[in-house]
Amino acid sequence: MELVARGLTRERYEVHLGLVMSPDTSADMSAEASADGMVKGVRVHALGARRARVAAFALLRLVWRLQPDVILSGAAEISFLVLLLRGLLPGRTRVLIRQNGTVSSVRKMGVPRYTRLLYRLLYRRADRIICQSRAMAEDMMREVGIGAEKLAVLPNPVDVDGIRRAMNDAYAWEGPGPHLLAVGRLSHEKGFDLLIEAFATVRTRFADARLILAGSGREEAELRRLCHVYGVEDAVQFAGRVNCPYIYFPGATLFVLPSRCEGMPNALLEASSAGLPIVATPASGGIVDLLRGKRGAWVAPEISAAALAQTMVAALKEIRPGERFPVMSSGDRGALDRSVARSVAGPSARAAAN
């Protein structure tokens, strides 16, 4: 959302960022350029709700006060809320929904079973649904019955220039390597337990291999226990939540995406835009489509620790230390420009993103 806001010219757009679930209960804050990535000229409205469903009245008040031409929502629970309130919004306000993942993967992520019903009942109320890959759009049509005319396929924007600037402040990895990097929430669907088991196998072939897990989450204690079980606790570093994981890119030998289910993760696109060699599980059709047949990219034959280990070993045997690849043909500054230009189209408008 920050990248989209940055790319919307202030000559045409008045941009507001609505934070529905945030710890700050103040009604308004002026967002200046700062370490947390906020953009000058974007007005931030923190509603302070702990859960999306209790924010309905606060969100309605904000929307009626701003009278936006466009609402862009990027999280499923917020999208459900906005679409549930659609009949109470100003008549001219259009609603764009950015879909984070495939609907068919919902049952794998431990969310309530009625979530699929909410997709079917509410998503038809959106003016447009933005999918990050063609495979995600096809899943939406198949699982929800949404027509192709309501779908737009747009990859997540990637700030290549920002990534390259941040890489100048490179992290100093320990030992000769190879150095493996994984980024994401420490949760079951992200598959870090599979990665730790696979990494133990990799260490039998590459004794100096080290792994950094950049992210935080409820599974951290269990993952640390697994590191002890597999005898790799001295070779695995838990970096915690990292605002700028790009500092790890220069010294990384391999970026690993071990997810059980995914949409089109930003971490993968960012690593690809930096030219990192990539090993990934076939966690979504979009990931497979992006990486299949590309130099410097390896997709495991299945989602399992054994398949991941086999693929990581094969990749490490083939690549040279520090080698980089043009994995993503769209990994340039133009990808950001095109995504922003196509995300919100039309005449001068007020836009609210939440």
- Res 234: pLDDT: 95
- DSSP output for 180-235: EEEES--SGGGTHHHHHHHHHHHHHH-TT-EEEEEB--TTHHHHHHHHHHTT-TTT
**How much is the average pLDDT of 243-257?**
92
For helices 115-122 and 134-144, angle between their N-to-C axes, nearest 10 degrees: 90
**pLDDT, greater one: 161 or 30:** 161
In this structure, of 60-64, 154-158, 174-178, 304-308, the range with the lowest mean pLDDT score is 154-158
Residue 331, both tokens: 């990994």
With 0.95 as the threshold, say if the pTM is over it: no
Residue type, 319: I
Give me the pLDDT at residue 39, please. 65
Please say whether the beta carbons of 83 and 244 come within 8 A. Answer: no
The yes-or-no verdict on residue 236 having pLDDT over 80 is yes
Instruction: Give the CATH architecture of domain 2-158+334-353.
Output: 3-Layer(aba) Sandwich (3.40)
Whether domain 160-330 has CATH 3.40.50.2000: yes
Residue 49: which pLDDT band, with cuts at 50, 70 and 90?
confident
- Residue 155 scores a pLDDT above 50: yes
Q: How confident is the model at residue 330 (pLDDT cuts 50, 70, 90)?
A: very low
Is pLDDT larger for residue 127 or for residue 46? 127
Mean pLDDT of 179-191: 94
Q: Above pLDDT 90, what percent of the chain?
A: 46
Let me know: does 176 contact 253? Beta carbons within 8 Å: no
How is the chain split into domains, by residue range?
Answer: 2-158+334-353, 160-330
Q: What is the pLDDT of residue 47?
A: 85
The pLDDT assigned to 164 comes to 80
Say whether 160-330 and 2-158+334-353 share the same fold: yes
Mean pLDDT of the chain: 83
Mean pLDDT is lowest, of 85-89, 168-172, 239-243, for: 168-172
Over residues 200-214, the pLDDT tens digits come to 999 999 999 999 999
Amino acid 179: pLDDT: 96
pLDDT higher than threshold 60 for residue 338: no
Could you give the CA distance from residue 269 to residue 290 in angstroms, rounded to a whole number? 9
* Across 174-195, average pLDDT: 94
Q: Is the pLDDT of residue 229 over 90?
A: yes
Q: Which of 19-28, 114-123, 166-175 has the lowest mean pLDDT?
A: 19-28
Region 60-82 average pLDDT: 92
Q: Round to the nearest angstrom and report the end-to-end CA distance of the chain.
A: 8
